[in-house]
Structure 1
Amino acid sequence: MTSTTLLKNRGAHMSVQRQDTIVIGGGLAGLVIARELCAAGRSVTILEARSRLGGRVYFDSVKGTDESAELGGQWIDPNYQPLIAAEINRYNLEITHGDPGTEQRTVSGDQVLHGMLPIPPDDIVDLERGVWECLAASRRIEYGRPWEEQGLDDLDVSWAEYVRGLKLSPAVEEYLMTWTSASDPEQSSALNILVLFATFGHSAWAAYNSMELKFTHGTASLVDAITSEVRAEIHLDTVVAHVEQSADEVTVTTADGRTFTATTAVLATPVNTWEDVTFSPPLSEAKQEVSRLKHVGTGQKIWMQLTDTPAGGVLGWGFGKGVNWLLRDRQLSEGGDLYVGFTGGGSLDVDDHDAIRDAVRVFAPEAEVTRTFEHNWLKDPYAKGGWAVFRPGHFTRFHSELSRPEGRLHFAGADLSFGQQLWMEGAFETGFQVADRLLRRK
């Protein structure tokens, strides 16, 4: 093909000419795989269940306003994310600094602390020791080496168990627990946090200060730029139901009965959705178990229009009433500020305006919430969760297996990244790995 072809669902019982590769999933990983294969002269078909491309990267207009917002992935840090930095340079994409707010407020026990110090001054020595222990543990991690070969079983315990084992003061222990702001610290592995520090230069400050840079024209500018180079046939609104391998090809059947055949295929969809597809032969027991149990990244991202907040903006952090992280994105032309909040472990009903208002007022009692909006990734049938947060034991037992090819079927997506599963960088990491493997395949 000479250009990208976007097709809506064209009806049942359609058979398409055999391709070199079928890519299931049109998120960033799937798009970069298709781009690299097409550039090398391979024929590719992308099958995407949604009516849009981008996957969990979703830049959309806010109903009833002239504003747009990132409903999925948003922030980037080119200093520690070389692959996303290369994409920015490749397409000359504009990036800009966010405006998170200058007045930091941290929930500690039954009080809200004001200022940069997130714990009472009497606990600062324990804070220093706790952070040092975490960074020392992160230095045991060898990036890219299979987890099961690194002797990290003692760190693949719940974050709550790991933190309690440090024997810190209650205030510092509570503060460290909030580092798993998108999941329950009792259910998520400590390696989720420690590998994050490892990929950000073994720096807690760099890891949590990375939510600043973003695309000036939204992540849609990145998706559109990549898509412009994808010389493939792209089928939107196409739900995959069955993947069957034979000795010399892969046949993919959609929910409406269409069939696509290729020499190889790539499953580039969130791990939590794999159980919705039947595979012949079946996927490995480990892949089936992880998809069945689901990862525990149940945090939600909520956008809010707030008025009556401090002029400098509020940056809130800590266990509150459902919002564990609150930061300003920008001022709005119609008045007020646009804020984004993150729920912890799915504990807040994102459709309950009053509950969101109460959660915001933990950090900003003076604030008025005039509008809220979000995309509920937990209820999205093609995501079934937000960014991946793995359970205790899953890194050292299953992580390497998740990306292992099975016959002619390969696997990609940010969930499978070695250490950037929370970021767009992770999608590029696995996308390039799979594309390279397929290009080396005869």
Structure 2
Amino acid sequence: MIEDKAAASRRNFLKAAGVLVATSAVGAKAIAAGQTRVEQSGTTPPKAGDHFDVIVIGGGMAGLTAARDCALRGMKTLVLEARNRIGGRTFTSEYGGKRVELGGTWIHWSQGFVWNEVTRYGLSISETPGAMADTSAWITGGKLKSAPSMELWPKIGEAMAEYCNVDEWGGRLVFPRPYEPFLEREKVRQWDRLSLTERMGQLKLTPEMRDLLNIQFTINCHNDPRKGAFIDMLRWWVLGDSDMALMFDKIARFKIYEGTSALAHAIIGDGDAQLLLSTPVASVSSEGGRNVLTTTRGDHYTADAVICAVPQNVLSSIKFTPGLSQQKMRAAEAGHTGIGVKCYVHIKQKVGKWIGMAPYPNPITQIWTEQERDDGTLLVCFGPPGGLDQNDEEQVQQAVRQLIPGADVVAVMGYEWALDPYSKGTWCWYRPEMFSESLEALRAPEGSIFFASADSATGWRGFIDGAIQSGVESSHAVHEYLNKGKRS
């Protein structure tokens, strides 16, 4: 195993959420480390005390989309982003001369909101080799097995279809129109009571198939599947056309060739919304339709409307006066389950198009080929919380060798999203009953404060598509709110 100062420096750099690696010239503006503002051509940089029609808290995909659409509708718009980069839980970096996505990655043409943005800005698509793996390896009963993927995955697909077939229609009677998730509210509530593990306990499965399904549930909820809600798996299944191969294509195969950061820059560059980086918001005080936002530095900005576009797990870190609804705060304080590990592992061996899997609580849940390289293979690795220290290359090598005996780790890189105070986790997966009890509350505006997040989207919640959907909807709602008096 190779360990050098350069590798250590890269780990520290990524852990500290350093410089954004610019990946495209498509409407982009380079952001240097420590830079605290991005100035749009022809505008005066914002200063403390300035008033805006709308202020957006958070420069992730939801916030950027909301800000662009507000600005394009003629609203004076400001984005306050806590980090020194945009993109939120998407983060394009570089390893060995090639792009890697440290956060949100995959998209699909059936995800209409993000696909519209990709075509709007002329971005292109690449594929993850391991998503169509030739060979699969898995641990079951403490033993390592291997087989051609075409022999294994159809069997997993059959078991998943049985698991999700709660209504003899593959869940489609529970979610007849999945972007309108409460058309069958009582059916949703019925199945929302179960965890992923509890639903599996209702089926007669072999121990091996139980392990193989456990693997899928662990990576999906990015946690112990006993903590994740079954209803979210059912929702993914319906959105994935009730087919394992199609669902996998939609969640883990296709990505933006230029990088998710290229999309983020294109969105914020399209319009005249202003952006301040390294500007965390500490509090929002609302009275008489006027909102005062105070940053952690003590600067104040005012707005007629606010779009709060921070993740669910971060919402409770901002003080709102008056306080937010009890339902909203309960969901924020409980948090979603996505707090696991994602990292990249470079090994000397060439394993081709390969995927490896192990059930909870193994330190690696799934790991597959991200790049086939001249000097080995770059693998993308996912694990549950507390199982893998991505900063300990010796531990990573031991974990990888459980699935690839004799593997030699060259380097490990990743980003610790659960430790980042502005994300406190990865993608969103709800806990049992959170869907029924909290989704509508998390989406609901409170006075002149509106909310946008991938974590509260009605469609592909937890995905880039859901973030953009939420941003589009919140900007429209703010426009309606601010113009209501003008039309009356």
With normalisation by structure 2, the TM-score equals 0.83
Q: How does 1:214-233 map to 2 (within 5 A)?
A: 214-233=255-274
| 8 A contact 1:295–1:389 mirrored in 2 | yes
Q: What do residues 145-204 of structure 1 show as CA deviations (whole Å, max 9, x unaligned)?
A: 354952122311110001111232222222222222112110010012111112122223
Does residue 8 of the first structure (1) align with residue 33 of the second (2)? Answer: no
Greater CA drift, 338-347 or 398-407 = 338-347
Greater CA drift, 41-50 or 172-181 = 172-181
Greater helix share, structure number: 2
Alignment match, 1:140:
174
Find 1:168's aligned residue among 162, 183, 205: 205
Q: How far apart, CA to CA, are the structure 2 residues paired with 1:331 and 1:205?
A: 22
Identity %: 27
Does residue 68 of the first structure (1) align with residue 66 of the second (2)? Answer: no
Amino acid at match of 1:376: E
Find 1:59's aligned residue among 83, 86, 92: 92
Shift of 1:144: 3.1
Does residue 434 of the first structure (1) align with residue 434 of the second (2)? Answer: no
| 8 A contact 2:314–2:422 mirrored in 1 | yes
Alignment match, 2:148:
115
Tell me, which stretches of 5 or more residues in structure 2 are unaligned?
Answer: 1-27, 39-45, 484-488
Shift of 1:15: 2.6
Amino acid at match of 1:305: H
Greater CA drift, 97-106 or 368-377 = 97-106
Q: How far apart, CA to CA, are the structure 2 residues paired with 1:5 and 1:20?
A: 26
Q: How far apart, CA to CA, are the structure 2 residues paired with 1:357 and 1:304?
A: 9
Report the 3-state secondary structure (helix = DSSP H, G, I; strand = E; otherwise coil) of the residue aligned with 2:402: helix
Amino acid at match of 2:114: I
Amino acid at match of 1:96: S
Alignment match, 1:285:
326
1:345/1:420 Cα in 2 relative to 1: closer, same or farther (>3 Å)? farther
Q: How far apart, CA to CA, are the structure 1 residues paired with 2:421 and 2:235?
A: 28
Q: What do residues 242-291 of structure 1 show as CA deviations (whole Å, max 9, x unaligned)?
A: 10111121110001110010100011011111111111000111111111
Report the 3-state secondary structure (helix = DSSP H, G, I; strand = E; otherwise coil) of the residue aligned with 1:137: coil
- Count of residues in correspondence between the two structures: 432
1:164/1:244 Cα in 2 relative to 1: closer, same or farther (>3 Å)? same
| 8 A contact 2:92–2:102 mirrored in 1 | yes
Amino acid at match of 2:48: S
Alignment match, 1:17:
50
Does residue 103 of the first structure (1) align with residue 131 of the second (2)? Answer: no
Q: How does 1:374-385 map to 2 (within 5 A)?
A: 374-385=414-425
Q: How far apart, CA to CA, are the structure 2 residues paired with 1:263 and 1:255?
A: 21
Amino acid at match of 1:136: G
Q: How does 1:25-64 map to 2 (within 5 A)?
A: 25-62=58-95
Shift of 1:207: 1.5
Amino acid at match of 2:185: Q
| 8 A contact 2:164–2:237 mirrored in 1 | no
Q: How far apart, CA to CA, are the structure 2 residues paired with 1:325 and 1:293?
A: 26
Q: How far apart, CA to CA, are the structure 2 residues paired with 1:58 and 1:416?
A: 20
Amino acid at match of 1:389: W
Does residue 193 of the first structure (1) align with residue 233 of the second (2)? Answer: yes
1:124/1:256 Cα in 2 relative to 1: closer, same or farther (>3 Å)? closer
Q: How far apart, CA to CA, are the structure 1 residues paired with 2:58 and 2:368?
A: 31
Does residue 267 of the first structure (1) align with residue 299 of the second (2)? Answer: no
1:297/1:148 Cα in 2 relative to 1: closer, same or farther (>3 Å)? farther
Shift of 1:103: 1.4
Find 2:296's aligned residue among 255, 261, 264: 255
Q: How far apart, CA to CA, are the structure 2 residues paired with 1:50 and 1:318?
A: 34
Alignment match, 1:177:
214
Does residue 303 of the first structure (1) align with residue 371 of the second (2)? Answer: no
Tell me, which stretches of 5 or more residues in structure 1 are unaligned?
Answer: none
Does residue 422 of the first structure (1) align with residue 462 of the second (2)? Answer: yes
Greater CA drift, 197-206 or 229-238 = 197-206
Shift of 1:414: 0.4
Q: How far apart, CA to CA, are the structure 1 residues paired with 2:172 and 2:437?
A: 19
Q: How does 1:315-326 map to 2 (within 5 A)?
A: 315-319=355-359, 321-326=362-367
Q: How far apart, CA to CA, are the structure 1 residues paired with 2:124 and 2:307?
A: 31
Q: How far apart, CA to CA, are the structure 2 residues paired with 1:332 and 1:194?
A: 37
Q: How far apart, CA to CA, are the structure 1 residues paired with 2:118 and 2:278?
A: 29
With normalisation by structure 1, the TM-score equals 0.91
Shift of 1:323: 0.9
Find 1:343's aligned residue among 367, 378, 383: 383
1:126/1:343 Cα in 2 relative to 1: closer, same or farther (>3 Å)? closer
Q: How far apart, CA to CA, are the structure 2 residues paired with 1:120 and 1:212?
A: 17
What value does the CA root-mean-square deviation take over the aligned residues?
Answer: 2.6
| 8 A contact 2:215–2:358 mirrored in 1 | yes
Q: How far apart, CA to CA, are the structure 2 residues paired with 1:247 and 1:102?
A: 62
Shift of 1:115: 2.1
Shift of 1:337: 1.4
